[in-house]
A = this chain, B = another copy of it.
Amino acid sequence: MHTIPVENQPSFRVGVLGASGYSGRELCALILGHPQLTLAFATAHSQKGSTLRVKAAGRVHEVPLIGPDEADLAGADLVFAALPHGASAEWVARVIAAGTRVVDLSSDLRPGHGGVVHELPAGVPQDAPYGLPELFRDALRGARVVANPGCYATSVLVALAPLARAGLIAPGATVSIAAASGVSGAGVTPKFEYLFAEVTENYRAYGVGNSHRHLFEMRDTMSRLGADCDLLFTPHLLPVDRGILSTITVPLSRPLTDALEPFRAAYANEPFVELTTGLPALADVQHRNVVRIGAVLPTGMRQPTLLVFSAIDNLVKGAAGQAVQNANLMLGLDEAAGLMR
């Protein structure tokens, strides 16, 4: 293991707002295992006073949970806001007012705002950098506020960006995305439909007909990347804990002979994008901060078409891992620090 030499390196104090959710827990684990970050506080409104059991660096840590109002926002170098959509923007405003950097994991600050028309609180930027380092790294270095992308959006946009930028997507065409996610994406709030007995041995679509919150940031970003296409996004619920696989049908503007070629060119030096000549599986990416991409040119098609498969761990590259990757960029650290476990 090539561990990062940590002597004489700067160290930063970071806090987590909303530590009891699945993303919040994963954030705590990553921070506790990060050589240059220290966990300053972890808040959980409804569980304050209790402790959170976090496995990191070979040990079980008992992290005390405090109420959000008790958090010393100004005393931290950076705060991760892992709060519910809608409730997050207000806390982002407070962190900004305290003069502290913030990575927001909700959809509140993302392009399209998750489809919700709302006024952001005073002080919160309308155009916070969108935290997909593989696409927009320059805007993230040293940034003070970053909107961490949605999990589905991460898997889809990292897969589609090279095609969009190369003009490979047929103009006016429909890009059809059938994605499937593990249940941890639905969060820790107990609901009947996420009980074990309802999910095991089951599988179904949900949020269909282009109604899912993540569609908005996908559309906005695709336009920004120069693509003129319609997205049809259909998520499904898998009987697994973690992981997203997006299966994407892309009508091409011109035939390709090598399905992976656009991705090789774009991601040659990306530490967190893996290309495979096979097909990515959830087991390849679980607990890792990567997007794993495979691609196939189907036979027997009149319309030149590329089939792209993109797998991530929804809690790591789809949430907490990417948030730490963004924090590393914001704080001037090695982008991969704490993420090569």
Interface residues of A (CB under 8 A from B): 1-3, 6, 22, 32-35, 53, 55-60, 172-174, 176, 178, 180, 182-184, 188, 190-192, 194-206, 208-211, 219, 230, 232, 234, 236, 238-243, 245, 247, 249, 251, 274, 279-284, 286, 288-289, 296-303, 305, 307, 309, 336, 338-341
Query: Can you name 20 A-B pairs with beta carbons within 8 Å?
Result: A1-B32, A1-B34, A1-B35, A3-B3, A57-B340, A172-B302, A182-B201, A190-B190, A190-B192, A194-B195, A194-B196, A196-B241, A197-B241, A203-B240, A204-B281, A205-B309, A209-B297, A210-B300, A230-B300, A236-B245
Cβ of B192 and Cβ of A188 under 8 Å apart? yes
Cβ contact of A56, chosen from B1, B182, B190, B245, cutoff 8 A: B1
In order of increasing CB-CB distance, the 10 nearest A-B pairs are A58-B340, A178-B178, A190-B190, A204-B281, A196-B199, A1-B57, A209-B296, A183-B196, A209-B298, A202-B283
Query: Could you say which of A1, A238, A302 has the most chain B C-beta atoms within 10 Å of its C-beta?
Result: A1
Bound: A173/B176 CA distance, A: 13
Q: Which residues of chain B have C-beta atoms less than 8 A from A56's C-beta?
A: 1
> A190 — which chain B residues lie within 8 A by C-beta?
190-192, 194-195
A54 CB to nearest B CB, Å: 11
Q: A1-B35, A230-B300 are in contact. List 20 more A-B contacts (CB 8 A).
A: A3-B6, A58-B336, A174-B301, A174-B303, A182-B201, A190-B190, A190-B194, A194-B196, A196-B239, A198-B283, A201-B282, A201-B283, A204-B279, A208-B279, A209-B296, A211-B299, A230-B303, A232-B307, A249-B249, A341-B341
Contacts known (A230-B301, A296-B209); A243 close to B203, Cβ less than 8 A: yes
Residues of B within 8 A of A6 (CB): 3
Whose C-beta in chain B lies nearest to the C-beta of A272? B58
Contact B210 A182 (CB under 8 A): no
Query: Which of B34, B202, B281, B336 sits near A202, CB closer than 8 Å?
Result: B281
